[in-house]
Amino acid sequence: MSSTKIAIFDTTLRDGEQSPGCSMYLEEKISMARQLERLGVDVIEAGFPFASEGDFRSVVAVANECRDTTIAGLCRTVPSDIYKAAEALKTARRSRIHTFVATSDIHLEYKLKKSRAEVIDMAANAVRIASENADEVEFSAEDATRSDVDFVCEVFKAAVENGATVLNVPDTVGYTLPTEYAALVRAVKERVVGDKNVTISVHCHNDLGLAVANSLAAIEAGATQVECTINGVGERAGNASLEELVMAMAVRADKMPYTNNIDTTQLYPASQLLSSIVSFGVQPNKAIVGRNAFAHEAGIHQHGVLSNPLCYEIMTPESVGVPKNSIVLGKHSGRHALIARYEALGFDLNDSQIADIYPRFIALADRKKNVYDQDLMALAPVRVPTAIAA
C-alpha cells in the first residue's frame, strides 16, 4: 500500500498563544520555535503580524531563527495586513502568507457586514497581493463548516485563480462531525482542486472533543496538510493536538498509510517546554504526553505490563520521548542526576542556572518525600527577555 505525505502545520505560536494564559515573551517564542523545528514540523505559523508590534517582532525573529522550516504569518484579506505580513517574513528562507476571510452567512451578516460577492472580491484581491509578496499563499475560508458548500467552493476557486496553492478548510468553532467534514473536503477536492497542484489543509477546533477525529477523517478524504498545536492549546477548547494526530498515524499505520517528517521522540520535550512557558500544564490523563499516559496503578494492569508492555501500552514511552528513568530524585541526588532530568524534560540550562536551582531543589527535597517533574518545572527559570528583566 502506497503512503501519502502529510504536512504538519503548527500554529502553537499563533492560535495556541491566543488561549487565555498562553501569552509568550519573544524569547519564549524563539525557544518554542527551535523545538518545533527539531520536532520536524513543515510550517510554523509564527504570529499575526498586523495584530501587534509584539506579534510582528515575533514573526521576524522566528523567520530569522528557523531556516529549515516554512514560516507563515496570518493576516486578514486586507491589503495593509498583507503588506505587514510580507515585511515580517522578508528574511524567511521560505515564506508563506496565510490570509483568511469568513464565509458563513452568520459571519457575513453580523461580523463582516458584507455580501457574498464582496467576500469573493476580497479573497481574490488579497491572494493576488499575497502571491506577489511571499513564496507561498494559503487561503482560509473561516467558519467553512457552517458555510454553504457551493459558496465555499466559489470562494476557493477565486483564491486558486489568483495564486493560492494551499486551501484551508477550517472547522473554526469545532462544530462539524467526521462524516460531514470528510464530505466537505471531498467536495473541495472534486469541485475546486481536481488535478491542480493545490494542497487541501484542515484546521480543527476541539469544542466537541472531535478535533483529532475530524482531522483524521479529512486526511482520509484527501487533505494533505493538518494544522495543529502542541498539547492541543488554542482558542476556547483548543486545536487538534499535534502529538495525538501524529501518534494516531504512527500506531495505526495499518489503517492510515500516511507519512510525515515528525521526530516522535521530540513530542514529550515539546510538550514539557510549552508547559514550562505558559501558565498551565496538560491534564494528567492527556493522551500521549500526560503524566498518566504510561502509568499503571491497577494490579491487573501492572501484572500485564510487567509480563509484556504490549498488554496495555500501544506505544512505548521512548517512542514519544518520555524518559524511562529509574533514577529517583531526592535530597541525596547530585547535580548530574538533576541536570539529566532537566534535559529529559526539554530544558537546556547553563551552569549559573543550575547553581541557582540546585540548592533550592535540595531544600525542596528535604521537605517532601517525592520530587515530581512539575516541581522541577516550577524551579526552572522563567524565560523573560533582557529588556523586560532590566
What's the pLDDT at 384?
38
Q: Are 364 and 375 in contact (CB under 8 A)?
A: yes
| Residue 33, in any domain of the structure | yes
Looking at the structure, do residues 92 and 154 belong to the same domain, yes or no? yes
Taking only the tens place, the pLDDT of each residue in 40-78 is 999 999 999 999 999 999 999 999 999 999 999 999 999
| Biggest alpha carbon–alpha carbon distance for the chain | 71
- Which pLDDT value is given to residue 311? 72
The residue among 282, 262, 383, 272 whose CA lies nearest residue 322 is 272
As to burial, measured by CB atoms within 10 angstroms (0-12 exposed, 13-18 middle, 19+ buried), residue 328 is: exposed
108 & 143 share domain: yes
- Residue 306 pLDDT: 56
Rounded Cα gap, residues 305 and 296, in angstroms? 8
* In a domain? residue 364: yes
pLDDT of residue 299: 52
Whether residue 266 is found in the same domain as residue 345: no
Cell of 159: 483564491
Asked if the structure places residue 151 within a domain, the reply is: yes
Domain count, the chain: 3
C-alpha cell of residue 339: 541536570
Q: Which residue has the cell 510554523?
A: 44
pLDDT of 329 reads 76
Same domain, 304 and 250: no
Q: Are residues 306 and 264 in the same domain?
A: no
Q: Output the CA torsion sign for 204, 292, 262, 216.
A: negative
pLDDT digits (tens, 9 = 90+) for 232-289: 999 999 999 999 999 999 999 999 999 999 999 999 999 999 999 997 889 989 999 9
Closest C-alpha to 184, from 207, 158, 204: 204
Whether residue 307 is found in the same domain as residue 332 = no
Do β-strands 95-102 and 136-142 pair in parallel, antiparallel, or remain unpaired? parallel
Say if 298 falls within a structural domain. yes
Q: Please name the helix (run of DSSP H) or strand (run of DSSP E) that holds residue 259, with its range, or none.
A: strand 258-259
10-residue stretch averages of pLDDT, the chain, 390 residues long: 89 94 93 97 98 96 98 98 98 98 98 98 98 98 98 98 98 98 98 98 98 98 98 97 98 96 96 91 92 64 60 85 70 83 84 93 86 84 44
Cell numbers standing for residue 180:
460531514
**Statement to judge: residues 42 and 122 lie in one domain:** yes
Q: Are 17 and 65 within one domain? A: yes
DSSP string, 338-374: HHHHHHHTT----HHHHHHHHHHHHHHHHH-S---HH
**387 within a domain of the structure (yes/no):** no
Residue ranges of E strands in 129-223: 136-142, 166-171, 199-204
| Residue 354 placed within a domain | yes
Which residue range is the domain that position 316 belongs to? 294-323
